Amino acid sequence: MNNILIVTDTFEQVNGVSTTYKNMIAEYDGEITVAHPALWSYTTSKLYHEVQICYQPFRAYKFFEMLKPCHVHIATEGILGLTARIYCKMWNVLPLPDISTTRNRTGVMYRRGWVR
């Protein structure tokens, strides 16, 4: 079976990333599972209120183990993205494409004075 796991922090928002994933899921014939913070307990970012931050990464990891995906697409820079990356490294799930669809890292570095 060719199941795909998409890991994102923005699936329940109305934005280009969420819309693209929803359109892809509607068109794809196979099995796609989307892991997003609303599946577990989460909080919102104080700097960017639309971003949901999952604070149960161990439950997310167990969810990934239960799914046993063939492919993982990491589309987040947050805790879920890191959890998915660790899962992929531990279980040798390939390919491991990831994409940075936002500039959150750059914004944080700029606000802290690390980048001008």
Q: What is the pLDDT of residue 104?
A: 52
Q: DSSP code of 94?
A: S
3-class SS of residue 35: strand
pTM attached to this predicted model: 0.75
Q: What is the pLDDT of residue 63?
A: 93
Beta bridge partners of 43: 53
Burial of 41 (C-beta count, 10 Å sphere; 0-12/13-18/19+)? exposed
Element (H, E) at 4: strand 4-7
Beta bridge partners of 72: 5
Q: What is the pLDDT along the chain (116 residues), one digit of tens a residue?
A: 578 898 888 777 777 777 888 888 888 888 889 998 888 988 887 877 777 788 888 999 999 999 988 888 888 778 888 888 888 888 877 655 555 555 555 555 455 555 45
3-class SS of residue 54: strand
Domains by residue range for the chain, with CATH = 4-111 (3.40.50)
- Which one-letter amino acid corresponds to residue 98? D
Phi, psi for residue 65 in degrees, rounded to 5: -60, -40
